[in-house]
Structure 1
Amino acid sequence: MSQDRTFQLDKIRNIGIIAHIDAGKTTTTERVLYYTGRTYKIGNVDDGNTVMDWMQQERERGITITSAATACHWRDYRINIIDTPGHVDFTAEVERSLRVLDGGVVVFDGVAGVEAQSETVWRQANRYGVPRICFINKMDRTGADFWRCLKMIEDRLKAHHIAVAIPIGSGECFGGIIDLIKGTAYSQDGDQTTPESVEIPIPDTEKERYEAARHSMIEKLAEADDEIMCAYLDGQVLTADQIIKALRRVTLSNKAIPVLCGSSFRQKGVKVLLDAVINYLPSPLDTPPVVGIDPRTQEEVSCPVNDDAPFAAIAFKVVSDPFVGRLVYFRVYSGTINASAGVLNSTRDGRERIGRLLVMHANAREEVDKADTGSIIASLGLKNTFTGDTLCDPSHPVLLENIQFPEPVVSISIEPKTRADQDKMVDALQKLADEDPTFKVSYNEETGQNIIAGMGELHLDVLVSRMLTEYKVAAKVGQPRVAYRETITAPADAEGRFVRQSGGRGQYGHVKIKVEPLLESTAIEVTDDIRGGTVPKNFVNAAANGIKDAATTGAYAGYPMVGIKVSIYDGSYHDVDSNEMAFKTAGSMALKAAVAKAKPVLLEPIMKMEVVTPEEYMGDIIGDLNSRRGHISSIEPRGDTTVIHAFVPLAETFGYATTIRSISKGRATSSMEFHKYQELPANIAKTVMETEAVTK
């Protein structure tokens, strides 16, 4: 069967559900699938029977770990949905989803409002220019406050929000929502036996609030849209159609964010949210054509949103399915692709063959014979395609912008328990690394151990659990270790001279370099400042490669170096004995000599932490954070709880989840994300280096 082209491009919505952990993303998605007829029974996270959280690890832990794709239909529109994780350790899943989506639904907890990871996903959406709408969920929870959430969206996210629906009551008194555009209320969005919405007149007790909120909505819309501003100043009575069209314009241009509310768990507000997805979020036609470069000529190439254009797509996810094999998810930006077609992977400059094409519904599959522009599809048969790679028509090569991922900050050692597990473990680690770009695997020659690195304790815990359960590998796991970095704090000069003479042709390489700190940067910049041709260009390039290799393995304490500018300004060569290998070695020697003079220091990752606690435990929690070398940046009341914002070194956070449960009798929660690298205090740096020396 072919993918249904009765859905024209303007009737397709590619959206992601994004939010902080426990805001209700998966619950919202489950209700959407039920109301659109995609499922016949509502799944619940607590019962472990959701469609989108299908992995064993997700159901056991009650969290989303991997983004899941599905498709459903509403009002003659096709909605492709990706449900993303909320935990910061799985931020790569959000990053790659936002790269290929046209719009986003950001879900907030009506009690907690804007939380730490909410800010992270908001910044990611800003980076990719993704238009979005907000849904303030859990309005039935005690302490829910719609107006406080709006203020937090304005203050913490710096977003121009426009409330298009307001709640009738909150907490136990939450009775439904008022649609400010249509001027109607919904006392209930149905339940499993009566899925139809119940539309009622606005209650008399709510009319005054409705009038004030509608007036505010039109004022805010007029600020963002010239057409509405003119009509508003002329005193015109705006129709619902005018307001919806204006809201769509300001949403697509990212000038404003429509905000809705409800309770996904109680099935309230979900249908209004679905209408908002159709009304305000972009179709593939509303997004500008993706621009790439021609790898042959380096000229800019535009990929029009058109089935008749040459095929161009980005692979954004790789999954090793135990039943069908290696699945590669990709978004088609331009043209169409048939099953069994040959394509070019322009990122790796290699030919690939598309196998079967599959429309995914979480872990269920529906085979199709063709994928059109705007499709989110999976394929079997792509053996050498990885996350971020561009797939294109071989006769029209194009290279699209890759997806950037953060570097891992935590590592652990892992060893097979028996010789029989060795090969199984190598295979399992390779498959997991293929799936997750933030999961890195390396081998320590000195200790003979495999080192795996990830974004946090939970990230590595989940991956190790998957290896033990899915791949049946018995392994011994070490303690978590911090991914330190090295840098320099002063400029210095040095030279590297590599001379070897042994009978026949010798080895001769000689370079002089200057190093200086690159403030607020994690790059290693190497420049060629040689004048007068004292060293040929090819030898300079070889020396630069030697410098970069030495920086990767560390020139001070064995950790990768960051934030250094290296200038190769002089040197000498021998007509017979010089070669690229000799200059590569000379470059490495020069960097190590320069770093030794440049006051090297160790850097440690600092985490931005948010702790939400009842007030009676605040003193104990602050005391514990201080004992962990934490810096408290702010404390703010939030309803009947207190939110503590702090910066804490990653090395001091291991086991924190257990500690905070103990201090607060299980009532406090915490979340954290990587903030920056910062110089490690000298006494601790000395201990770290001594420990590293003993380990080696």
Structure 2
Amino acid sequence: MSTLNLGILAHVDAGKTSLTERLLHAAGVIDQPGSVDDGNTRTDTLELERRRGITIKSAVVSFDLGGVTVNLIDTPGHPDFIAEVERVLGVLDGAVLVISAVEGVQAQTRVLMRALRRLDIPTLIFVNKIDRRGADRERTLRGIREKLTRAIVPMGAVHKAGTAEAAFTPFAAHDAGFASAAIDVLADHDDAFLADYLEDEHAASPKRLRLGLAELTGRSLAHPVFFGSAITGAGVAELTDGIRELLPTTAEHAYQTADAAEPQDAPADPARGTVFKVERGPAGEKIAYLRMFSGAVHTRDRLTLHRAGTRHEGKVTAISVFERGADVRREAVTAGHIGKVWGLADVRIGDVVGEPDTPRRAHHFSPPTLETVVVPSRRAEKGALHAALAQLAEQDPLIDLRQDDVRQELYLSLYGEVQKEVIEATLAEEYGLEVGFRESTTIHIERPAGTGAALEAIKKGDNPFLATVGLRVEPGAIGSGVQFRLGVELGSMPYAFFKAVEDTVHETLRQGLHGWQVTDCVVTMTHSGYWPRQSHAHQRFDKSMSSTGADFRGVTPLVVIEALRGAGTKVYEPVHRFRLDLPADSLGPILPILTALRAVPQTSRLHGSACVVEGEVPAARVSALERQLPGLTGGEGVLEYEFDHYEEVRGEIPRRPRSDHNPLDRKEYLLHVQRRV
């Protein structure tokens, strides 16, 4: 058998979870498809998901499809949970992008398609809800070509669209509707086919077109489009055939029998995989979802996990793999499979088994642009709240839990207000904690304006630390993050001291001169020095005359901040790209509002009585635009937006209060640190 790790992605309410239920029913995994409205779907297992009718956490379920083991991953559709989708993308072999035949291509649809194409993930498109009033095949196809990609091949015709009897009839390989679209796509990407076709039109045989389409789909150069209804089941059988015939699979190792007590000999390939989800079991134990790319992981193996240049170990105590709708205990998880792994106490999302060599794990979506303070209803529960939020941060690292030690406040990064509501409900239901939130504020960033350097030397000036550290800070490429480099010999002092400096540099740069995270910079260590471990004659180790890691962790923030002062920093705010669909007679009244909100309209197009305006708007002004839009457009305006870039702040620079011991004030910092030591 072979394996296909398949993602189902869509804008919220396009019918993604309903399609998952229908696929499971068609495969014989469930007797009847569950209903999102009734809260009895197989993949929306959280009580909060069933109550709200949306997917919040990705879920894995498996079924057999004509000899192919499909691990189907249902992902959230709401943009507030885009981080959950991002973690899934790196483990997929293929995807089905679901689009509503009524609403057509929506904001989140475009975001998802760009990510799928950027990662070269083979993708089929399923146009759902053809039975709904307002469903329109041709309009939806035009939207896909204009907003997503022109490399599409419609795979059939729709009859009685917009009625309960709506049906999908697949094209035969010789049908003109299929042939013309397939020829266009193949001619654009296959020079050999184009040459043969120009010489002889009969070269475009049905068999060659079908094989050529499968080959281009596997390379993510073509996207077959199916139509149907997840509710009635129309078109689902044809989509299933397309999944089996058009998406690439991973060959499976021999070991995977249901009654095997012991694994066969481990394959020659080294074990390599990635953790894309972490959850807590009934006893609070961590369970890691591990996608294997090569080799195998067995029960009782001691795994080395890599994370951001560091490594840690854990012993596997149990494994289960997904089979026919359930996860079943096994002795190993092999290449191509997804397994649940117990025993890795320090595991985090993004950890890599084996040497990391896949660039697909970089961020592909925008970072969170909002921040809020979480306040417990009862002051005595601050400790319990911190512990609970730390566990939630394990499952969603991008919420970026940040503690202000000075004000004793807890900060979370967010994508939107719905995410805030979900966190509040989760804390109440799973941890028994009632909390409130302060008003969300926009997260800015800082970047170095120039180059700066600083040095603290042992026993020079008022440096109380037995450590010499010199650093140079300079601008880096946009989007490069923070890069740490050595400008001194690695053997000039123990590696642990270099590691202490590097870790502290990253930690210190979480708050720049104005309190915002500093990014897109290169930090080079230019000087180093230490006092070796020593003691007075015939006495024990004497800290007062020997350098320790604490010395390097203590002095580095002072050097970083002084170098930043020399470089200077500029503050940048997040800017969204927006699209407004509104009645043409609303254009006049809304343009002054856009100007007042510092939005910059860049294009506008009239389509009869409708108008489309596209441009840029500061993220901090989006909520105000959303509030005013209904009144300005008679309730007919539709706003879509997504993060586009960061732009330098003009005028008054926003500041964020520091949450550390403030190395900007040397005297205050030394008082705090020396008292703590």
TM range (shorter): 0.7 to 0.9
Counterpart of 1:15 in structure 2 is: 6
Shift of 1:438: 1.4
Residue 650 (structure 1) aligned to one of 615, 619, 622: 619
Query: What's the counterpart of residue 669 of structure 2?
Result: none
User: Please, which moves more after superposition, 653-662 or 412-421?
Assistant: 653-662
**How has the CA–CA distance of structure 1 residues 420 and 540 changed in structure 2, closer, same or farther, with 3 Å as cutoff?**
closer
1:585 to 1:180, Cα distance in 2 relative to 1, 3 A = same
Question: The residue matched to 2:244 in structure 1 has which SS?
Answer: helix
The alignment partner of 1:267 has SS state of coil
Q: Secondary structure at the match of 2:561?
A: helix
- Residue in 1 aligned with 2:37? 46
Distance 1:663 1:62 in 2: 30
Match of 1:289 in 2: none
Q: Is contact 2:321–2:337 with CA below 8 Å preserved after alignment?
A: no
Q: Do residues 344 (structure 1) and 306 (structure 2) align?
A: no
Please name the residue that 1:427 is paired with: 387
Q: Deviations over 1:481-528 (max 9, x none)?
A: 2222222334456665775689xx965777776654335345334555
Q: Give the letter aligned to residue 263 of structure 1.
A: S
- SS at 1:446 equivalent: coil
Q: Which residue of 1 aligns with 2:55?
A: 64
Residues 604, 106 of structure 1: CA spacing in aligned structure 2 closer, same or farther, 3 A cutoff?
Answer: same
Once the two structures are superposed, what CA deviation does each residue of 1:283-315 show, in whole Å capped at 9, x if it has no partner?
Answer: 1149xxxxxxxxxxxxxxxxxxx9664543322
CA deviation map 1:266-292 (0-9, x unaligned): 422111111100010011149xxxxxx
Change (3 A) 1:174 1:224: farther
1:22–1:472: structure 2 CA closer, same or farther, 3 Å change rule? same
Aligned to 2:344: 382
Residue number among 503, 518, 541 corresponding to 2:476 in the alignment: 518
Q: 1:479 to 1:439 in 2, by over 3 A?
A: same
Distance in 2 (alpha carbons) for counterparts of 1:566 and 1:76: 53
Q: Is the 8 A contact 1:498 1:585 kept in 2?
A: no
Q: Name stretches of at least 5 consecutive residues in structure 2 with no aligned partner.
A: 253-265, 533-543, 663-677
Alignment of 1:558 with 2:515, yes or no, is yes
Deviation string, structure 1 residues 133-181 (Cα, Å, up to 9, x no partner): 1222333445544344444444444452222223346445984334223
Q: Could you say if the C-alpha distance between residues 572 and 63 of structure 1 is closer, same or farther in structure 2, counting changes exceeding 3 Å? A: closer
Equivalent in the alignment of 1:676: 645
Q: Which residue of 2 aligns with 1:482?
A: 442
Distance in 2, matches of 1:640 and 1:377, equals 54
RMSD between superposed Cα atoms in Å: 4.0
Q: Equivalent residues in 2 for 1:391-406 (5 A)?
A: 391=353, 398-401=355-358, 403-405=361-363
Structure 2 match to 1:106: 97
Partners of 2:134 and 2:105 in 1: CA distance? 14
Instruction: Give the Cα separation in 2 of the matches to 1:325 and 1:351.
Output: 13
Q: Distance in 1 between matches of 2:13 and 2:510?
A: 38
Aligned with 1:277 (options 243, 262, 276): 243
Report the counterpart of residue 628 of structure 1 in structure 2.
Answer: 597
Superposition pairs of residues 207-286 of structure 1, within 5 angstroms: 211-225=176-190, 228-229=193-194, 232=197, 233-236=199-202, 240-285=206-251
Calculate percent identity across the aligned residue pairs. Answer: 26
Q: Say which of 398, 415, 426 aligns to 2:375.
A: 415
Unaligned runs of 5+ in 1: 1-7, 184-209, 287-305, 392-396
CA distance in 1 between counterparts of 2:187 and 2:348 reads: 45
- The answer as to whether partners of 2:318 and 2:329 remain within 8 angstroms in 1 is no
Aligned residues: 626
Contact 1:546 1:586 in 2 (8 A): no
Distance 1:388 1:639 in 2: 49
1:602 counterpart letter in structure 2: V
Contact 2:296 2:335 in 1 (8 A): yes
The Cα shift of 1:99 comes to 0.8
Q: Report if the CA contact (8 A) 1:498-1:583 is conserved.
A: no
Other structure's SS at 1:236 match: helix
* Letter aligned with residue 269 of structure 1: G
Q: CA deviation at 1:335?
A: 3.5
**Paired position in structure 1 for 2:667:** none
Contact 1:609 1:648 in 2 (8 A): yes
Q: Is the 8 A contact 1:316 1:387 kept in 2?
A: yes
Distance (Å, rounded) in 2 between the aligned partners of 1:367 and 1:341: 14
Q: Which amino acid in 2 is paired with 1:126?
A: R
Q: CA, structure 1 residues 594+529, in 2 after alignment: closer, same or farther (shift >3 Å)?
A: same
The 5 A counterparts of 1:316-331 are 316-322=276-282, 325-331=285-291
Q: In 2, are the aligned partners of 1:53 and 1:64 still within 8 Å (CA)?
A: yes
Q: Is the 8 Å Cα contact of residues 12 and 78 (structure 2) preserved in structure 1?
A: yes
Superposed displacement of residue 417, structure 1:
2.5
Residues 332, 374 of structure 1: 8 Å contact kept? yes
Instruction: Tell me if the contact between 2:9 and 2:112 (Cα under 8 Å) persists in the aligned partners.
Output: yes
Q: 1:602 aligns with which of 567, 571, 593?
A: 571
What TM-score does the superposition give when structure 2 sets the normalisation length? Answer: 0.79
5 Å-filtered alignment, 1:562-641, equals 562-566=519-523, 588-613=557-582, 623-636=592-605
Looking at structure 1, the residues matched to 531 and 166 of structure 2 have their Cα atoms a distance apart, in angstroms, of 85
Alpha-carbon separation, structure 2, partners of 1:138 and 1:435? 33
Kindly provide the CA deviation profile for residues 20-71 of structure 1, in whole angstroms up to 9, marking residues without a partner as x: 2232222222222222222222333334333222323223333221111112
Shift of 1:446: 1.2
Change (3 A) 1:31 1:637: farther
Using a 3 Å threshold, how does the CA distance of structure 1 residues 341 and 587 change in structure 2: closer, same or farther? closer
The amino acid that maps onto 1:320 is: R
CA distance in 2, matches of 1:409, 1:242: 48
**Where do residues 444-483 of structure 1 align in structure 2 (5 Å cutoff)?**
444-483=404-443
Deviations along 1:72-118, one digit per CA (max 9) or x if unpaired, are 23334332211111222222222221211111111223344433322
Listed one character per residue, the Cα deviations across residues 207-229 of structure 1 (whole Å, up to 9, x for unaligned) are xxx63553333343344346655
**Structure 1 residues 450, 507: CA separation in 2 closer, same or farther (over 3 Å shift)?**
closer
Q: 1:507 to 1:383 in 2, by over 3 A?
A: closer
CA gap of 1:618–1:320, structure 2 versus 1, over 3 A, is farther
Amino acid at match of 1:386: R
Would the aligned equivalents of 2:321 and 2:338 in 1 still touch at CA under 8 Å?
no
**Corresponding residue of 2:322:** 359
1:533-567 CA distances to partner (integer Å, 9 max, x unpaired)? 9x98989987776655443321x222221233456
Q: In the aligned structure 2, how far is the partner of 1:147 from the partner of 1:512? A: 64
2-structure distance, mates of 1:371, 1:573? 47
Give 1:224's aligned amino acid: H
Counterpart code for 1:452: L
Secondary structure of residue in 2 paired with 1:276:
helix
Distance 1:512 1:480, change over 3 A: same
Given that 1:336 and 1:371 are in contact with CA atoms closer than 8 Å, whether structure 2 keeps it comes out as yes
Matching residue of 1:164: 155
SS of residue matched to 1:553: coil
SS of 1:91's equivalent?
helix
Question: Residue 361 and residue 436 in structure 1: after superposition, are their counterparts in 2 closer, same or farther (change >3 A)?
Answer: farther
- Rounded to whole Å, the distance in 2 between the matches of 1:63 and 1:471 is 21
Match of 2:402 among 416, 427, 442: 442
Tell me the secondary structure at the aligned position of residue 383 of structure 1: coil
Q: Deviations over 1:208-255 (max 9, x none)?
A: xx6355333334334434665566443437665443322211111223
Rounded to whole Å, the distance in 1 between the matches of 2:46 and 2:411 is 25
CA distance in 1, matches of 2:83, 2:9: 12
Counterpart residue number, 2:539: none
Contact residue 63 and residue 324 of structure 2 kept, 8 A: no
Q: How many angstroms apart in 1 are the aligned matches of 2:493 and 2:275? A: 41
> Could you tell me the TM-score, scaled by structure 1's length?
0.77
Distance 2:110 2:272 in 1: 32
Q: Is the 8 A contact 1:608 1:675 kept in 2?
A: yes
Cα distance between partner residues in 2 of 1:224 and 1:545:
47
